[in-house]
Chain A
């Protein structure tokens, strides 16, 4: 069974400072990895994903994550955060597609990023 560990439940950081949100996964097979962001009382929005190829993936708003197979990690980073980045961030894993249908996501427990002035 897959599992995702997000060790930090809350990460406070000052605006314009760098941030790293940690994510480790456990799986016996190759996986797809995702970061979702959830603003208060909102749905889940995909931030970025790793499917295959380059281990460094980037989002349009400055976040990046690097897939490290040997450490089974997919940490999320941003060199300079903004107040608007305050939200809950969920790391998730799924199996690569199988014939016959989609695959469910297994989420981590989330990390609350709080950006302060």
Chain B
């Protein structure tokens, strides 16, 4: 069965650079979520989209932005990267109705040096 695809799986960037993470949800899923998991931490909700519109916002820094495109894939753009942005970034997708669970991708490990 198709799963949530995230790319790239690994990314190394220098401080102050920009990174773009991509997420391709499961086919027919209309909702996408982004989470950030720092080293040894629990995943923290960043932002979600439903039908290409932002549906909820969590602890996402102003330096980050995201959007969902017409084909439902989503991109998380991160600018002015800081060392503290090093983390595992997960994307998850779900169907609005019935919205019973989110399926997670394998994550993108971002390392800022």
Output the nearest chain B residue to A34 by Cβ-Cβ distance: B101
Q: Does B42 contact A (CB under 8 A)?
A: yes
| Chain A residues whose C-beta falls within 8 Å of the C-beta of B31 in the assembled complex | 101-102
B45–A102 contact, CB under 8 A? no
Report the contact-size class of chain B (Cβ under 8 Å from the partner). Answer: 20 to 34
Report how far A104 CA is from B99 CA in the complex, Å.
11
Report the contact-size class of chain A (Cβ under 8 Å from the partner). Answer: 20 to 34
| Chain A residues whose C-beta falls within 8 Å of the C-beta of B107 in the assembled complex | 42-43
Q: Does B58 contact A (CB under 8 A)?
A: yes
A32–B106 contact, CB under 8 A? no
Task: Decide if the interface of chain A is mainly helix, strand, loop or mixed.
Answer: loop
- Segment with Cβ contacts to A, from B13-21, B48-56, B77-85: B48-56
Partner of B42, one of A45, A100, A107: A107
B90–A43 contact, CB under 8 A? yes
B43–A97 contact, CB under 8 A? no
Q: Does A83 contact B (CB under 8 A)?
A: no
A93 to chain B minimum Cβ distance, whole angstroms, is: 12
Q: Does B33 contact A (CB under 8 A)?
A: yes
Output the nearest chain B residue to A102 by Cβ-Cβ distance: B31
A104–B106 contact, CB under 8 A? no
Output the nearest chain A residue to B46 by Cβ-Cβ distance: A104
Q: A44-B90, A97-B97, A110-B42 are in contact. List 6 more A-B contacts (CB 8 A).
A: A43-B90, A44-B43, A45-B104, A46-B101, A100-B96, A105-B43
**A residues lining the B interface (CB < 8 Å):** 32, 34, 36, 41-46, 49, 51, 90, 97, 100-110
**B residues lining the A interface (CB < 8 Å):** 31, 33, 35, 41-45, 48, 50-51, 55-56, 58, 90, 92, 94, 96-107, 109
